[in-house]
Structure 1
Amino acid sequence: MNGWDREYDISMGEYIELFDKSMRKEQESNIEFLEDNLSKMFDRKAVVCNSGTDALFFSLLSLKIGKGDEVLTTNFSWISTASVISMTGATPVFCDIDILSYHMSLDSIKKMYSPKVKAIIYPHLFGNMSDTSKIKEFCQEKNIYFIEDACQSIGSSYNKVLAGSIGDISTLSFNANKVVSGIAGGGAILTDGDTEIFKRLRKHGEGKHLGYNSKMLLFNAEVINYRLNKLSDYIKRRQLAAKYYDEQLSEYVTIQHNPDNLNHNYHKYVVRFQNKEVRDRVKAKIGQIHYSKPISENAMYDAIDHRKDDYIVSKIVSDTILSLPISPYITEKEQDKVINTILLLI
């Protein structure tokens, strides 16, 4: 449940106006208006592209990371967080996670570091954020880049610091399931440095080096920009839905308890059950699993070079986690159906 169909019903006139305005223009005309809006939001330079995956991939390429290098990342996330590393020729190094936040464990990061490590890709999972100050200190100490995967956390903040503003390079995604989405996906790169390399990479390298077809078309940019201006309302609605789940379920399942200094966008509302059997029984009726296995357990890694820490926590979480339906437009009646199903099956 993403809720975009319901928003269209509510705001149909505005969407038709956007469509009409866009169709009277060249679809490959500039989309700087969206980049300008993102730049104002994050106080950084912004370059948009075709997807959050491309944004991560281009981030690594811009840092000249490739064969012979290693990149630290989590063993519990969407697979592109790690696959982009292998796409450059570098070796992914999988770290375990913290049992409460589901974010990368500093102890595992330190354990898996080697002199070949050139960067870390750190995702804020499900829209949640944690204190990354010690991880950033470690990166500075070891002279490695901190790439912030903020693809799931647009609008979230920790100690009033926005996700997307803390990485040497940060990335966003506008995939259909995100808090702000385009009609055809999309991504963005945020940096305080030079952006020309990203603009060339998204347009076949402009003949100067190898590049890719990763442009964003005008109508998609218009939809993202329109929704970006409604982000605070989306988050408030998601937070209200999450609070209702918390109130009704906290005695029965493991929920994430968020500190007061966290502004969570609730891209996903996740709970954990006492074991895989119970989780799977509930999953047969409601919800989705994000994610069903540690990344390194995917069959592709049988043939791809990688290193990995023991992933006991990643495995526990993969076996017991479930994402419940949430959107800005979910109703209490719909939530009650989810809640009652869980209470009946646990």
Structure 2
Amino acid sequence: MVFIKPILLDAPNLGELEKKYLCDCIDSTVVSSVGENIRIFENKFAEYLKAKKAVSTQSGTAAIHLALYELGIGPGDEVIVPVLTFVATVNPIKYVGATPVFVDVDPETWNIDPNEIEKHITNKTKAIIPVHLYGNPCDMNKIMEISKKYNIPVLEDATESLGATYKDKFTGTFGEINAFSFNGNKIMTTGGGGMIVTNDEKKAEHLKFLVNQAKDNNTDHYFHPEIGFNYRMTNLEASLGLAQFERLPGFLNKKRKFAEIYKQGFENNEKITFQKSYEGAISSYWLPSIKVESHKTIPEIQKELKEKGIPTRRIFPPIVEFPPYKEYKKEEYKNAYEIYKKGLNLPGSTMNDEEQIEYIVEVLNNV
């Protein structure tokens, strides 16, 4: 089958509204980190999530770094994190001088296993970072119970899960400080960019201060009373974000429709298992993901799909595969390695249409 437009894995959906907002911003000449659109974007984002405050950043990684910094985490501290995630979840732990403690994931949802969290808590544990992998919410009830029991703050990595809910509450609103990403391949984009979300207004005020080099705006000259960061979002990025934000409900509806087509298309195929969700969880389906039982390797399957015009991506490798984290014992993460060995991300870009998703199902079932 030949389509007029190519099938896309995770490309952004940009159009006339984005052009208008960006051109308006350029015409205003206020394109850098001083601009009204930044404040509007932050307020709209917090309102959407029913959170008190949102602070924009230059990336999701910057959001995680600042959250850890604001929580006072540093050398000698430990942070519990799933071994199956993008490396940007983990590197900020190193930025602040703390030690990541990796735990295995649930074999069906692929998210951090709450039982493994509790097993790895020590008197050095200062934070827990659950990651809503590929937009799929973690078991936040159990995780927050552990947080309360041991008085350890939760920092949600919601960079992939904007719009996802657990028990009717948005991901990124359970933890004390939480992070979102607007990278070009995310559900909505600002080109780069990220957001910190919190209900602690005092922390939000301090975070807003830190992202702007800790500059004291109450003086008429440059004065910086503490170490700050250049983690500001620009007005240009916020303009793009506002346009994308208006279209977010449509993006989420389309992604969920795609997931429904995939699930129905694979339900009679015993070799393909779709990433499962916890009861009461509604994924954003940033990237629809499956596990394949086959005599073929994932790279072999990818090659066959690519020849038929279908782009795919392997699941994130367990973090302990990377040289900076090689001291950890790989055998402790059997579920993560099983998912990595057999896992595959399927096209989820909202630039695709339903006919293309149905074609992917047909081809993959045959492959």
Give the TM-score of the pair, scaled to structure 2.
Answer: 0.86
Is the CA contact 1:74–1:97 (under 8 Å) kept in the aligned structure 2? yes
* Amino acid across the alignment from 2:288: Y
Where 1:98 maps in the other structure, the secondary structure is coil
Q: Distance in 2 between matches of 1:336 and 1:159?
A: 30
- Which 5+ residue runs of structure 2 have no aligned equivalent? 1-7, 216-223
- Mean CA deviation greater in 156-165 or 254-263: 254-263
Q: Does 1:87 align with 2:95?
A: yes
Report deviation, 1:163: 0.9
Deviation at 1:17, TM superposition (A): 2.0
Residue number among 85, 105, 109 corresponding to 2:117 in the alignment: 109
1:333 corresponding residue in structure 2: 355
Per-residue deviation, 1:309: 8.1
Q: Deviations over 1:249-288 (max 9, x none)?
A: 2222011344673322110100001158432211223410
Cα gap change, 1:233 to 1:242, in 2 (>3 Å): same
What value does the CA root-mean-square deviation take over the aligned residues? 1.9
Q: 1:216 to 1:330 in 2, by over 3 A?
A: same
| Count of aligned pairs | 336
Alpha-carbon displacement from aligned partner over 1:113-167 (angstroms, at most 9, x marks no partner): 1110000111111111133112211111111111111111111112211111111
1:312: which partner in 2? Answer: 334
1:38, CA displacement in angstroms? 1.1
For residues 35-80 of structure 1, what are the alpha-carbon distances to aligned partners after superposition, in whole Å with 9 as ceiling and x for unaligned? 1101211232110010000000000000110000000000000011
Name the CA distance, whole Å, in 1 between partners of 2:328 and 2:62: 21
Task: Give 1:223-262 correspondences, 5 Å limit.
Answer: 223-252=240-269, 253-258=272-277, 261-262=280-281
Contact 1:91 1:307 in 2 (8 A): no
User: 2:261–2:358: 8 Å Cα contact kept in structure 1?
Assistant: no
Give how far 1:335 is off.
2.2
Identity percentage of aligned residues: 26
| Distance change in 2, residues 1:192/1:217 (3 Å) | same
Q: 1:127 aligns with which of 130, 135, 141?
A: 135
2:20 aligns with one of 9, 17, 22: 17
Give how far 1:217 is off: 1.0
Any idea what SS the aligned residue of 1:72 has?
Answer: strand
| 1:17-96 correspondence runs (5 A) | 17-23=20-26, 24-28=28-32, 29-30=34-35, 31-42=38-49, 43-96=51-104
Which residue of 147, 153, 163 maps to 2:161? 153
Assess if the C-alpha contact under 8 Å between 1:127 and 1:264 holds in 2. yes
Q: Deviations over 1:173-210 (max 9, x none)?
A: 10111101112x10011111121321222122322222
Q: Deviations over 1:82-141 (max 9, x none)?
A: 111111000000010000111111221111111100001111111111331122111111
Residue aligned with 2:336, SS: helix
Equivalent-residue separation in structure 2 for 1:90 and 1:16 (angstroms): 42
Query: Helix, strand or coil for the counterpart of 1:283?
Result: helix
Contact 1:173–1:188 (Cα < 8 Å) also in 2: yes
More displaced, 322-331 or 77-86? 322-331
Per the normalisation by structure 1, the TM-score is 0.92
Aligned equivalent of 1:166, options 171, 174, 183: 174
Code of the aligned partner of 2:212: K
Question: Secondary structure at 1:145's aligned position in 2?
Answer: coil
Deviation readout 1:315-341 (Å, 9 max, x if unpaired): 101111000011223123322442233
Q: Distance in 2 between matches of 1:164 and 1:110?
A: 21
